[in-house]
Amino acid sequence: MIFRVQHVTDIRYAALVRLARFNVRLKPAAWSGQRLFECRLIVTPPSGPIATEEGPYVVNVSRLLLAEPISALRIESRFSVDVTPPPHPRADICPSLARIRQAAWTSRDISKFGPTPYLFNSRIVEIDAAIGDWARPFLADGDSVLEAGRALMHAIYTQFRYDSDATKTETPPGEAFRKRRGVCQDFAHIMIVALRTHGIPAAYVSGYLRTMPPPGKERLIGCDAMHAWVNIWCGEQLGWIGFDPTNDLIVQGDHIFIAMGRDYADVAPVDGVFHGNEGQSLRVSVDVLPVVAEVAAGSFGQAGGRSRNTSPAR
């Protein structure tokens, strides 16, 4: 199915900021089952020419440099993408956790698509014995990685509460874990900590969900902003499989992949440095519409836009 995505980020600063440099990670990285076309990044006030290059993980990084002082910044990302739902993962060729571990540790693939970069501590995700102990019942050595991933995902979905006031962007996974609350980012991080603590490669994926559900289905949680889920490495043959603990489902045709990294920090949609006061507010709106539905719904951009206002930035 073809989706059209529009993601607008409005940042306002308490005072003028100078020499702002940003990394924007909104252009979808190449990923199997996705075909990208018509991709644009519009920045106001205009930055110079925007160079986009591949980052050290599965991510496209666009560079903005705003030489003149600014008090507000609008980053608008628009693209269309054709998503082919991945085939249902075959349980019969799915290795056990014990096999996955061994394969990962002895892997000869150090590329960003291989398992090893996603085995160790990263800026946000740290091996955590408490989370590891909690996850132990779901991660028995003999279980197939698919079963184990489902069980762990389901445990997070049932034992944790979606609560956007409970955590902030910088809340460490351990704290969200103790509160048993959080948003997609926290759930993804907790699941990654659990898996890595058990020696299983797990990665953080940023992306989008379709805004309006297909007829007869419920709206998914997290569709009004960027979404996050977990990729588990399921061996050379199956590769990476997506698990969405916020919605308790294996990633299928409703998820649009943007980037994959070790944790949120590798794929943060916008970060950077500037000189000036740190006070800022942020407003984000995301629309993800199937192109066929767009015709029915009328003009693009008005159908399902949701905004939220958070300060500081989320």
Partner 1 sequence: MIGWAENPALASRGPVGGTGRPDDALRDYAPGPLGGDLYCDARPNVAAKWSLVAERLLRLSQGAHGNIQEQVSREIQELGLTFRLIGDEDERAWPLSPMPLLIGTEEWNDVAQGLIQRVDLLERILGDVYGPQKLVAEGNLPAAIVAGSTHFAPKMMGLTPPGGHYIHVYAADLVRGPDGEWRVLADRTRLATGIGYALENRLAMSRSTGALLSEINTRRHAGFYGDLRRGIAADCQRDDPRIALLTPGHFNQSYPEQAHLARYLGLPLVEGRDLTVSDDRLFVRTIAGPKRIDAIWSWIDTQHIDPMAFDSRSHIGIPDVFQAWSRGGLAVANWPGAGVIEARAFSAFIPRLATKLLGASLKLPNVATWWCGQENEASIVRRRFDELVISSAFGGHVEGLPGGRTRVGAQFSAEEKERLLAAMHLRPIDYCGQEIVNLSTTPVLIDEGFVPRPFTLRAFVARDGDGNWQVMPGGFARLSSSGDLRTSLMGSGDLSADVCVVDDVPIQQESLLGAGVTPAIRRSGGILSSQAADNLYWFSRYAERAEMTVRVIRSLLGSPIDADGGAGRDPATISRLVEILVQWGAIEAENADLSLARVCSVALGKGKLPGGVAMLVTRLRDIGRGLRDRMSTDFWRVANQPVPGFDPDHTESLLSASNHLLERLSTLSGLTAENMVRSPSWRFSDIGRRLERALNICRIARQFATNDSQVDDLSALLDLCDSQIVYRTRYLTGPMRAPVLDLVVLDPHNPRSLIFQLVQIEHHLALLPPLVEDGVPERPLRETKAILAELQSLEAADVTTKVLQNAETRLLALSDALSLRYFLQFDKPDRSSQGSLLG
Closest CB 253 distance from partner 1, rounded Å: 27
Of positions 46, 56, 142, 213, contacts partner 1 by CB under 8 A: 56
Of positions 37, 38, 88, 129, contacts partner 1 by CB under 8 A: 129
Closer by beta carbon to partner 1, 9 or else 34: 9
Which range of residues in 107-115, 159-167, 173-181, 289-297 is near partner 1 by CB under 8 A? 107-115
- Per DSSP, the three-state class of 15 is strand
User: In the window 165-194, what residues touch partner 1 (CB under 8 A)?
Assistant: 169-170
The Cα 70–Cα 311 span in angstroms is: 18
Which range of residues in 34-42, 186-194, 231-239, 263-271 is near partner 1 by CB under 8 A? 263-271
- The secondary structure of 123-168, three-state, reads CCCCCCHHHHHHHHHHCCCCCEHHHHHHHHHHHHHHHCEECCCCCC
CA distances from 17 to 48, 60, 68 (A): 17, 25, 9
Cβ neighbours for 130, distance < 8 A, ≥ 6 positions apart: 174, 177
Cβ distance 200 to 240 under 8 Å? no
CA triplet 181, 187, 190: central angle to 5 degrees? Answer: 100
User: In the window 189-218, what residues touch partner 1 (CB under 8 A)?
Assistant: 197-199
Which range of residues in 39-47, 123-131, 147-155, 299-307 is near partner 1 by CB under 8 A? 123-131
Which range of residues in 20-28, 30-38, 155-163, 300-308 is near partner 1 by CB under 8 A? 20-28
The Cα 285–Cα 95 span in angstroms is: 40
**Amino acid (one-letter) located at 50:** I
Of positions 1, 36, 39, 127, contacts partner 1 by CB under 8 A: 127
Of positions 246, 247, 280, 285, contacts partner 1 by CB under 8 A: 280
Closer by beta carbon to partner 1, 153 or else 284: 284
Cβ neighbours for 243, distance < 8 A, ≥ 6 positions apart: 149, 150, 152, 153, 191, 229, 230, 231, 232, 250, 251
Closest CB 135 distance from partner 1, rounded Å: 11
Closer by beta carbon to partner 1, 54 or else 82: 54
Phi, then psi, of 87 in degrees rounded to 5: -65, 150
Of positions 161, 275, 306, 308, contacts partner 1 by CB under 8 A: 275
Q: What residue ranges bind partner 1 (CB under 8 A)?
A: 11, 17-19, 21-23, 55-57, 63, 104-110, 112, 114, 116-117, 119-121, 123, 127, 129, 132, 169-170, 197-199, 265, 268-278, 280, 282, 313-314
